[in-house]
Structure 1
Amino acid sequence: MTALLLFGDQLGPHFYTGHDEILLVESAAALRRKPYHRQKLHLVLSGMRHLAAEFPDRVTIVRANTYGEAIRDFGRPLVAYQPGSLAAQRMLRRLGVEMRPTPAFALSREEFTAWAGTRERFLMEDFYHFQRTRFDVLMEGEKPVGGRWNLDAENREPPPKRAKLGVPEPWWPKEDEIDAQVRKDLDELKLPAVGRDGTRRFAITRTEALQALESFVRDRLPHFGPHEDAVLTKDWTMAHSLLSVPLNHGLLHPLEVVYAAEDAHRSGAVPLASAEGFIRQVLGWREYVWHLYWHLGGEYLQRNGFRATTPLPDWWARLRPAMVRAACLRTALEGVRNHGWVHHIQRLMVLGNHALQRGYDPAALNEWFITSFVDGFPWVMPVNVIGMSQHADGGVIATKPYLSGGAYLNRMTDHCGGCWFDPRKRTGERACPFTAGYWAWMDQHEPAVRANHRMGRAVQNLRRLSDLDEVRAQERHREVF
């Protein structure tokens, strides 16, 4: 009898339904191969062990040094679903394991390939329109509900003048004896992990995932839209769903998530801007990122259009933000250290923005996002980091670099008021590293971006700066962030 091999990100019923015998592998070599976040390691092991405990007659966990050893020890023919990385796909082929198309995404690879056609640039908005139409989500016939496809302009409110957004708390899981044993085992393994251990904050069983989804749609989705791009120092979750972990571990299917949000809007419980903004993240961006990982292939991981080669500093790579003075950057790194998670604006406009300005190697940065984030997997990050964040692909994904100075951060976060740096200053001891870094980056890369029509005003403003030489010298030797 052929058994089903599942990975730790394939834990939902759309994977195992119809299979009587299931193999899960705890590979010591895989766990110690990279400096993963401690809480990421916990989630992977907890998810697999909870599934085994739920179906003890169907699920076998084999603990071995490598997957190859585990599969040989198991000793029976195996089939697997397409995994979440090129490396895992190569491994399955090498081990002779049959692979089937993944059931974890709404759109099939064949349909995406047909949509992509001969495109050389892949704009998410085009794909998102296709997805909405294909799956009849927030549609009235052939037109979008409300007459507009994208309500992002209504979802850019700055943070409120209070410490917290004031929405209901997220649904939090309760740890059990399985989590306790995982924590004990990880302590004994002494893995090269980064970040802090902490109480498990993300759903990692099917039952938990459904509870988290129901709670989010009922209590938090109505408040999600307006402030989804804002950041509050003392409110790390804001109104975000925290569903990226159960989604990326295969515990929820994207269409059940999307239809839950759509139903809540159609019932009158959720404003259209909130429902549409969330659906765009799941049915648009997440599916787009998955398909482009495979469509663009391994070569995409080496794209480096701005020839950025600066190694990640130790305080960044090892999640040691104590000496970082910039409040926005310190808070974001503290969030990664404490939770293995910060929301998309901190990823893009704080961490990614800083990395772009400082010329961090995009391949190393991509790897850092994969290993340091609890929802990071090899398929998740390349389009997000190499494409969207670092614009290292030359515009395959985005029409311009996502670059900003301190003014944007001052408007969209509550960090700047108490920060040692001044977002209005680009020179001097208290010059904001984001404001000064913006102009230093523009100066360095002006020949490469001057033809981009979306960068035209920035190029004109650069040429008007009277203190550009001082900015150049200052940022060339900056040591304090």
Structure 2
Amino acid sequence: MTGARDDTPLWLFADQLGPAVHGGDHAHREVLLVEARHALRKRRYYRQKLHIVLSALRHADRDLGDRATLITADTYTDALQRFGRPVLVHQPTSFAAEKFVHRLEEQGLVADVLPTPTFALPRAEFEQWAGNRTRFRMEDFYRDQRRRFDVLMRGSEPEGNRWNFDEENREPPPKKQTRLDVPAPYQPREDDIDDQVRHDLDRMDLDTVGADGPRLFAVTPTEAQRALTRFIEHRLPAFGRHEDAIMGGDWAMSHSLLSVPLNLGVLHPLDAVHAAEQAYRNRCAPLAAVEGFIRQILGWCEYMWHLYWHFGENYVDHNELNAHTPLPDWWKDLDADAVTAECLRHALLGVRDRGCTHHIQRLMVLGNHALQRGYHPRELTEWFATAYVDGFRWVMPTNVVGMSQHADGGRLATKPYAAGGAYINKMSDHCGDCAYDPRKRLGDDACPFTAGYWSFVHRHQNRLARNNRTRRVVQSMERLGDLEDVLAQEKGRTRF
């Protein structure tokens, strides 16, 4: 530290609320917390997301006791000026916030900026790893992460002599079951702080979207540890097999639901990773389930964080597939009742009622639909960032622009993640009760994902024909005898 004294107070952003930030070498420091009303009004956020953020801040204020000062102000600058002393801050988690902190530093309101402590790998070390790469593979990064942190390793070799058990984690939902036979996930008990947050949000009369409801996710380090413990002890053993499956009657299935506390900074990724590894060492969970969970956190989550910074602030403007369709009102308003397709309706219900769906619903239902219909990738990224309870600013650009919408032209993913109704029929239990037939691409009961898939392939056939992984789908499209009718049908479709 160059500009901070040993008694300089520490300012915590709302996604930096864990002991990795305010503990350790900083455990002696006074802590500043800020509720900025302007930030709450800046965008149309999901209602429960605002509740989670405010609850996290206020619980941190209570738990830190005399160390903490919580200021409610119109803006962060107003709060810092009222506080009256320069503060120390860790690197924030978005480009906009980083620029803002540097302006505050120039004004003398911030004494120094320290590296982000809420991820396993420091940003500088990722830049060394990235070097001059122009193409990125998560598997390369993930293996290096395993080696670096000595996770699931036997000397220099991976546990079980395999780095990746993904093929064993792709089973469809079990037949003749509406739910997985696993204990329910941890749910925190709301308290007087949550009651006051709900009252204050009602009083502010903000333009929000989605339903209010009980808080489902951990927002304190204590709650996060309870959520992690319950997952490891009761749900991790069943996690792997049906990791990619979707069940209409079981929204959580055996997923950990730890993305909120991880992204709030109240749970450190290495704590979750080490707990899962220990479960395997203790023979309490199978290797495939443990490896799949660790890959999500030490692999994918860390990878998305670092690529957000590496690809740069303008990455979100990539639009290689020339997608310019605005998001429809039923999508933005989470009007699931306006949707007929069961898979899409259930996904919107999940966002409307909980602000959360698991990764396959995000990628292969919502993302797949948006890709087929050509929704604008920047607008879609903004929607995911504001509508999902775990959708912080760094999370969504690479997940949406790169992975989901292939808008970066293949810099992140080697092929577009487009699929027809057959995939959804295999991996979910939705299609049996749906008015649309996943086997049909033409007619009133034609599945909008099946028909939309062929429309997408036709629209981008030149690009897909040059890709070894998608060349065959273009050849299959050329053999469709009813292609022109399908294209005409999809051009005029307004109902999904």
Task: Specify the TM-score bucket, using the shorter chain as the normaliser.
Answer: over 0.9
Aligned residue for 2:478?
463
Residue 5 of structure 1 aligns with an amino acid whose one-letter code is: W
Q: Structure 2: how far apart are the matches of 1:121 and 1:187?
A: 47
TM-fit CA distance, 1:127: 0.4
Match of 1:30 among 19, 26, 39: 39
Superposition pairs for residues 200-219 of structure 1, below 5 Å?
Answer: 200-219=215-234
Aligned residue for 2:135?
121
Aligned residue for 1:60?
69
Superposition pairs for residues 19-418 of structure 1, below 5 Å?
Answer: 19-96=28-105, 97=110, 98-161=112-175, 162-418=177-433
For residue 453 of structure 1, give the secondary structure of its aligned residue in structure 2. Answer: coil
Listed one character per residue, the Cα deviations across residues 90-122 of structure 1 (whole Å, up to 9, x for unaligned) are: 111111122110111111111101110100111
For residue 66 of structure 2, give the secondary structure of its aligned residue in structure 1. Answer: coil
Listed one character per residue, the Cα deviations across residues 207-257 of structure 1 (whole Å, up to 9, x for unaligned) are: 100000001000000000000000000100000000000000001111111
Match of 2:17 among 11, 14, 29: 11
Superposition pairs for residues 440-455 of structure 1, below 5 Å?
Answer: 440-455=455-470
For residue 96 of structure 2, give the secondary structure of its aligned residue in structure 1. Answer: helix
TM-fit CA distance, 1:56: 2.3
Check the 8 A contact 2:326/2:379 in 1, yes or no.
yes
RMSD (CA atoms): 0.7
Residue 487 of structure 2 aligns with an amino acid whose one-letter code is: R
For residue 56 of structure 1, give the secondary structure of its aligned residue in structure 2. Answer: helix
Residue 99 of structure 1 aligns with an amino acid whose one-letter code is: V
For residue 324 of structure 2, give the secondary structure of its aligned residue in structure 1. Answer: coil
Check the 8 A contact 2:342/2:430 in 1, yes or no.
yes
Q: Structure 1: how far apart are the matches of 2:8 and 2:29?
A: 9
For residue 121 of structure 2, give the secondary structure of its aligned residue in structure 1. Answer: coil
Amino-acid identity (%):
59
TM-fit CA distance, 1:323: 1.2
Q: Structure 2: how far apart are the matches of 1:294 and 1:81?
A: 15
TM-fit CA distance, 1:459: 1.0
Check the 8 A contact 2:8/2:29 in 1, yes or no.
no
TM-fit CA distance, 1:55: 1.8
TM-score, L = length of structure 2: 0.96
TM-fit CA distance, 1:87: 0.5
TM-fit CA distance, 1:285: 0.3
Q: Structure 1: how far apart are the matches of 2:153 and 2:29?
A: 39
Q: Structure 1: how far apart are the matches of 2:474 and 2:382?
A: 31
For residue 88 of structure 2, give the secondary structure of its aligned residue in structure 1. Answer: strand
Listed one character per residue, the Cα deviations across residues 40-79 of structure 1 (whole Å, up to 9, x for unaligned) are: 0000000010111112211111111111111111110111
List alignment gaps of at least 5 residues for structure 1.
Answer: none
Residue 8 of structure 2 aligns with an amino acid whose one-letter code is: T
Q: Structure 2: how far apart are the matches of 1:198 and 1:83?
A: 29
Q: Structure 1: how far apart are the matches of 2:445 and 2:367?
A: 22
For residue 198 of structure 2, give the secondary structure of its aligned residue in structure 1. Answer: helix
Aligned residue for 2:436?
421
Q: Structure 1: how far apart are the matches of 2:167 and 2:448?
A: 28
Check the 8 A contact 2:323/2:377 in 1, yes or no.
yes
Check the 8 A contact 2:186/2:230 in 1, yes or no.
yes
TM-fit CA distance, 1:448: 1.5
Q: Structure 1: how far apart are the matches of 2:379 and 2:280?
A: 41
TM-fit CA distance, 1:313: 0.4
Residue 86 of structure 1 aligns with an amino acid whose one-letter code is: F
Q: Structure 1: how far apart are the matches of 2:8 and 2:327?
A: 45
For residue 55 of structure 1, give the secondary structure of its aligned residue in structure 2. Answer: helix
Residue 391 of structure 1 aligns with an amino acid whose one-letter code is: H
List alignment gaps of at least 5 residues for structure 2.
Answer: 1-6
TM-fit CA distance, 1:20: 2.0
Aligned residues: 481
